[in-house]
Structure 1
Amino acid sequence: MISMFDSDVVSAELLADIVSVSKATLLKWEKSGRLIPSQNSITHRKEYKVSQLIQFEEVRNMINSNWDQELNVKPAKDFSSVELFAGAGGLALGLEKAGFNAVALNELDEDACKTLQGNHSQWNVIQGDVKNVDFAKFIDVDLVSGGFPCQAFSYAGEKLGFEDTRGTLFFEFSRAVKEIRPKVFLGENVRGLLNHDNGKTLSVIKSIISDLGYTLIEPKVLKALFYRVPQKRERLFFVGIRNDLVKFAKFQWPSPYYRILVLKDALKAGELYATDVPKSEGQSYPNRKREILSYIPQGGYWRDLPDDLQREYMQGSYFLSGGKTGMARRLSWDEPSLTLTCSPAQKQTERCHPEETRPLTIREYARIQTFPDEWHFSGSVSSQYKQIGNAVPVNLAYAVGRSIIALLNSIDAEVDLGSDSLAFNGSFHSRQLTLLNT
């Protein structure tokens, strides 16, 4: 049981990430006796024995994971997909690895399209505004996927339906589903969509999905760090099943991997990659900023600076409330990376290398997002950072993709079984075909 982790202890920082609580909450649990901490004699950081962490569902799920069994999930037949808002291909790569054949990928950004085409010349990349794409030509594709950007909708959408979301990118995603009529769709978004506009945006989305004739699995936030991604990124996923197929469908969200990967797993040779991260281009800090950040220890941030440097660096923000823990942040080898942003050198969202005082490079960024080293990005350095920072981590997409493949396998198996049995009863067979075509 304990051998599923790297050691018999877990750091306080990592436990907080696993169970999604603050260190202040961990401290309360210590005071109540729920947790008994120890101190690492070398790093002097607080740790907890794994044996006392079985109380947490997240830890039990890792220990009892079906990850290895789910790796054996393969498509029972060729399954096709169409993807919107494809970006640099993180979601598409993961879905392809799971077994999907992408018949079309739409993306507006020219550099991202060059990235997709340059790495995967056989992909049908449709560059341009999604509003101008005719999706009817892809009718009966098995899966429509995409990370539609979140925009506020008219509240009337709950009453007026699909047309009331016109002008939003969710409308275009919905239009693709309406025109293609896939068996299943997969949407993804930021965690904040759950409570966007006090939950009204999500309410409209659910209403529209129902109007389209799909049953929505309750949306779920998946933490990338549970799926062989050395990063704290969280994404909200939607899975919808066409109503006539729901009774045949069996769906389970992917099981977590049985250990948490950290930054050294991304940048050093080991389980994820056979070699250390290749050299590549990257942004740099101005001289004074580099001097100040050189005082930050691994895993530290602006609060670890001397007070005079805190004031100089933070300026007016020094007096504001809130932790602002992303500012002047140096990553740690022994923790998952903070969520990657579109720029590792920006003052609000620094992602400083754990040892060298510099921003993460392009290839370091790509590895933290679990892109293969041979996947190259087109455009300027800033454009490449943006493409990588906006991507769905490949390994997360692969895990979700396996769950979708298993879902489609279950639908096809039950439909085929029903067809075989119905051959013995013509009248029943006729009624069933009528149902399946509604």
Structure 2
Amino acid sequence: MKTIRFIDLFAGIGGMRLGLEKAAQKLGIQTQCMLSSEINADSCWVYEQNFGESPLGDIRSLEKLPNHDILLAGFPCQSFSLAGKQAGFNDRRGTLFFEILRLIKSDCPQAFIFENVRGLLTNDGGQTLKTIQQDIEAIGYSFQVLLLNSANFELPQNRLRVYLVGVLNACPQFSLFSDPGPKDSHAYNVQPLSESDWTRKKVTVADILEEDAPEGYNCSPQLVEALKTRLGGDLNRLHGMRLLDYRGGNSIHSWELGLRGECSEEEIELMNRFILKRRHAEFGKDQDGKLLNQAQIATFFDSPQLGTVLASLVAKNYLKLIQGKYKPVAGNFSFEVYKFLDPNKIAVTLVASDGNRLGVYYQGRVRKITPREAARLQGFPDEFRLHPKADRTYYQLGNSVSINVVEAVAREVILNLTPGELGQKYSAGESSD
């Protein structure tokens, strides 16, 4: 096989394409994109800037696909995401899988690679994945599910995604196998995921940071000063710290920073206990936290000044009173950063909704990560042209794939398609570099 012809559906900004092309190049094989499809105009602009091709629109308008060898599709994940309602095929976006199936039947490529969120595995009690498998196998494809973490592919990001892989009329032999990787971004060790002799180096957030990030990504002086005060001037304590108002643990809250008004130590202690205790079963079954009255609060905060303290917190808008019960005003204050990455560890998952609020304390600066740093977390090369508007870049990258992971999966697929000596050569672990 001298040239692999492929199709890039739900192309986004081209992450899956980059991964496939990178794998093929290392195997000494050329690639040719026969068709790409994407409906988001901003993503199409980025795709065209980098590949010189303008993707077609909605795949539902396509009657059939041109002849090709491998089909790529990062089909919509919102229907299966743990962050969403997990509506699956009951969601209109979920039914787009059946559009992919229709198009596969129009040309029957030799193989496919699909990417989605891990929620796909458990959606509808596993019935969604079972349906996909049955439909794929019914048209002659093998079906393999790989649960892979970007952290195991030389990317400093704890990103767990599902890859569905199939080869037509074959029983492929893949050396990759599923591994969820580290449970926590701060407890990270490199794990080999292949039976081959690939060497995997341990990479950290520090490896993707820019030495001269633009000043515009600095956090505001007000926030920096509040953090210094709270942390006794030791900003190194920001590594791995969260800024949010509805969890405890390694977190800093708005009342501890005095962002809506300075709080006394007693007020801070009450709020810290409140956000933890309100989740306890003794106050109800709502796991997201209950509204508590003063008598309930008194069971874990014994103070003769309780009424005065509560009134002060309401006045400062850290608590609100609803029909005699108190509720934290969580979420109404938008922190500039919700999570500070630890340069010596790996990042949390980059997501579309708040990738612009990941921060870092590095070289004496408290700042947000830059769009280029976000791109590096996903494995995009520095020559890749990003959208000129930062907010759109963060969104696109959060929705994209990790290039290194796609490359590893694509390599496995290519080796199972490549006939003769070439396939034997690389299956033996030799390199074309």
Conserved? CA contact 1:266–1:368, under 8 Å: yes
Q: 1:112 — aligned with what?
A: 43
Cross-structure match for 2:266: none
Aligned to 2:162: 236
- TM-superposed CA distance for 1:191, in Å, is 1.1
In structure 1, what is the equivalent of residue 63 of structure 2? 134
Aligned partner of 1:262 in structure 2 is 204
CA distance in 1, matches of 2:385, 2:132: 35
Match of residue 3 from structure 2: 78
| 1:193 counterpart = 2:107 | no
Separation in structure 1 between the aligned mates of residue 257 and residue 124 of structure 2, nearest angstrom: 35
**1:191 & 1:149 partners in 2: Cα distance?**
13
Counterpart amino acid of 2:23? A
In structure 2, the partner of 1:68 is: none
Residue of structure 2 equivalent to 1:40: none
Letter in 1 for 2:51: H
2:70 maps to which residue? 143
Paired residue for 2:186? none
Q: Which deviations, in whole Å up to 9, do the C-alpha atoms of 1:126-169 show, x marking residues without a partner?
A: 23112112333x13x110011111434559xxxxxxxx999712
Deviation at 1:387, TM superposition (A): 0.8
Distance 1:282 1:361, change over 3 A: farther
Say if 2:174 is the partner of 1:251: yes
Specify the SS of the correspondent of 1:402.
Answer: helix
Note closer, same or farther for the CA distance 1:337–1:241 as it changes in structure 2 (3 Å cut): same
Conserved in 2, the CA contact under 8 Å of 1:96 and 1:102?
no
Give 3-state SS (helix, strand or coil) of 1:221's partner. Answer: strand
Judging changes above 3 Å, is the alpha-carbon distance between structure 1 residues 241 and 352 closer, same or farther for their aligned structure 2 residues? same
Cα distance in 2 between the residues matched to 1:368 and 1:301:
19
Distance (Å, rounded) in 1 between the aligned partners of 2:212 and 2:418: 39
Task: Answer with 234-243 or 326-335: which moved more.
Answer: 326-335
Deviations 1:222-242 (A, max 9, x none): 111111111111110011111
Cα deviation, residue 213, structure 1: 2.4
Q: 1:154 to 1:95 in 2, by over 3 A?
A: closer
AA matched with 1:203: K
What amino acid is aligned across from residue 134 of structure 1 in structure 2?
A: E
> Conserved in 2, the CA contact under 8 Å of 1:342 and 1:387?
yes
Shift of 1:209: 1.1
Q: CA offset at residue 328 of structure 1?
A: 3.6
C-alpha deviation, 1:114, in angstroms: 0.8
1:175: which partner in 2? 102
Alignment equivalent of 1:309, drawn from 246, 256, 259? 256
Q: For structure 1, list consecutive stretches of 5 or more residues without a partner in the other structure.
A: 1-75, 156-163, 268-275, 415-438
Is the CA contact 2:13–2:46 (under 8 Å) kept in the aligned structure 1?
yes
Query: Is contact 2:219-2:367 (8 Å) kept?
Result: yes
CA contact (8 A) 1:112 1:377 kept: no
Aligned partner of 1:403 in structure 2 is 412
Q: In the TM superposition, what whole-angstrom CA distance separates every residue of 1:48-98 from its partner, at most 9, and x where no partner exists?
A: xxxxxxxxxxxxxxxxxxxxxxxxxxxx42111101111111111111111
1:359 pairs, out of 339, 354, 368, with 368
Give, in whole Å, the separation in 2 of the partners of 1:198 and 1:262.
Answer: 35
In 2, Cα distance between equivalents of 1:407 and 1:134: 29
Q: How does 1:413-432 map to 2 (within 5 A)?
A: none
Alignment partners' CA distance in 1, 2:224 and 2:103: 47
Residues in 1 aligned to 2:359 and 2:215: alpha-carbon distance in whole angstroms: 15
Contact 2:375–2:397 (CA<8 Å) still a contact in 1?
yes
Contact 1:345 1:359 in 2 (8 A): no
CA contact (8 A) 2:111 2:166 kept: yes
| Among candidates 14, 19, 22, match of residue 94 of structure 1 | 19
Alignment match, 2:346 = 336
* SS of residue paired to 1:101: strand
CA shift, 1:397, in A, is 1.6
CA distance in 2, matches of 1:78, 1:371: 23
Decide whether the 8 Å contact of 2:47 with 2:55 is kept in 1. Answer: no
- Tell me how far apart the structure 2 counterparts of residues 335 and 343 of structure 1 sit (CA, whole Å): 22
Deviation of 1:221 (Å): 0.5
Cα distance change, pair 342–283 in 1 and its aligned pair in 2 (3 A): farther
Superposed displacement of residue 291, structure 1:
4.7
TM-score, with length taken from structure 2 = 0.63
One of 298, 305, 312 as aligned partner of 2:239: 298
Residues 353 and 389 (structure 1), Cα distance of their counterparts in 2 relative to 1, 3 Å cut = same
- Structure 2 residue identity aligned to 1:133: L
Cα distance change, pair 368–195 in 1 and its aligned pair in 2 (3 A): same
Query: Could you say if the C-alpha distance between residues 341 and 319 of structure 1 is closer, same or farther in structure 2, counting changes exceeding 3 Å?
Result: farther
Aligned residues: 311
Identity of aligned residues (%): 31
CA contact (8 A) 2:89 2:95 kept: no
Report if the CA contact (8 A) 1:227-1:257 is conserved: no
User: 1:117 Cα shift?
Assistant: 0.8
1:168-219 CA deviation, whole Å, 9 max, x = no partner? 12112212211121011110101111111221211111121122322212x1
Question: Distance between the aligned counterparts of 1:337 and 1:224, measured in 2?
Answer: 10
Residue 380 of structure 2 is matched in structure 1 by: 371
C-alpha distance 282-202 of structure 1, shift in aligned 2 (>3 A): farther
What amino acid sits opposite 1:101 in the alignment? Q
Name the Cα RMSD after superposition: 3.5
Going from structure 1 to structure 2, the CA distance change for 1:292 and 1:170 (only over 3 Å counts) comes to farther
Displacement, 1:250? Answer: 3.3
Q: 1:131 to 1:298 in 2, by over 3 A?
A: same
TM-superposed deviation, 1:385: 0.8
